Chains A and B, each alone.
Chain A
Amino acid sequence: MKAKKLFTLILAVLMIALSVVSVSAGTLTESNPDGQTEVKAHIGGTTPEPGDVTYIISIPDVVDFGELHQVSENRDVSYKVKLEEVNNLDTDKQQINVYVKDQYATVEGDQEFYIANKADAAKKFSYSVYDVPAAEIDDDKTSLSQNTMTQAAGYYLTGFTTQGEELNGNLRFDQTQLMGYNLAEIVGDYSGYMIFFSIIEDQ
Chain B
Amino acid sequence: MKKKTDHNKNNTKKTIMIIAAAVLLLAAVVMLTLFLSGAFQKGQTDDKKEDHKGVVGVISDDWDPGVEEPTDSQQRGGTKIPGYSSAEMNAGDKSLVIRIGNPKDNKVGFFASLVLSDGTVLYESGLLKPGQGLDEVPLNQTLEKGTYDAKVVYQCVLLDGENTPLNAAESGFKLYVN
Report A's interface with B, CB cutoff 8 A: 2, 5-6, 9-10, 12-13, 16-17, 20-21, 24-25, 27, 29-34, 36-40, 42, 44, 48-63, 80-82, 84-87, 96, 103, 152-153, 193-200
Contact = CB atoms under 8 A, between A and B. Distances in A.
Interface string B29-57: 11001100100010011001000101111
Nearest to A166: B76
Given A44-B67, A196-B170, A200-B173, A57 B99 contact: no
Interface string B6-45: 0000010011001100100110011001100100010011
Nearest to A12: B22
Interface string B157-178: 0000000011111111100100
A20 B32 CA distance: 11
B98 interface: yes
A20 B29 contact: yes
A144 B172 CA distance: 21
Contact of B78 (A50, A82, A200): A82
B121 to A, nearest CB: 15
B156 A53 contact: no
Contacts of A86: 67
Interface in B84-98: 84-88, 94-98
B47 to A, nearest CB: 9
Contact of A54 (B55, B69, B80, B85): B85
A13 B115 CA distance: 47
21 contacts: A31-B48, A33-B138, A39-B135, A51-B87, A53-B84, A55-B67, A56-B80, A56-B81, A57-B83, A58-B80, A59-B78, A61-B107, A84-B69, A153-B170, A193-B165, A193-B167, A195-B168, A196-B168, A196-B170, A197-B171, A198-B81
Contacts of B82: 53, 55-56
Given A29-B45, A36-B138, A199-B173, A62 B81 contact: no
Sorted nearest first, the 3 A-B pairs with minimum C-beta distance are: A58-B78, A199-B172, A50-B88
B99 to A, nearest CB: 5
A17 B171 contact: no
Give the dominant DSSP class at A's interface.
Answer: mixed
Contact of B67 (A32, A53, A63, A152): A53
A180 to B, nearest CB: 29
Nearest to B30: A20
Number of chain B interface residues as a range:
35 or more
A103 B81 contact: no
Interface of B is mostly: mixed
B73 to A, nearest CB: 13
Contacts of A56: 65, 67, 69, 80-83, 103
Residue of A13, A54, A153 most packed against chain B (CB within 10 A):
A54
B144 interface: no
Contacts of A81: 78
Nearest to B64: A42
Contact of A29 (B18, B19, B41): B41
B167 A17 contact: no
Contact of A61 (B37, B69, B78, B172): B78
A153 B172 CA distance: 9
A61 B18 CA distance: 70
B99 A52 contact: yes
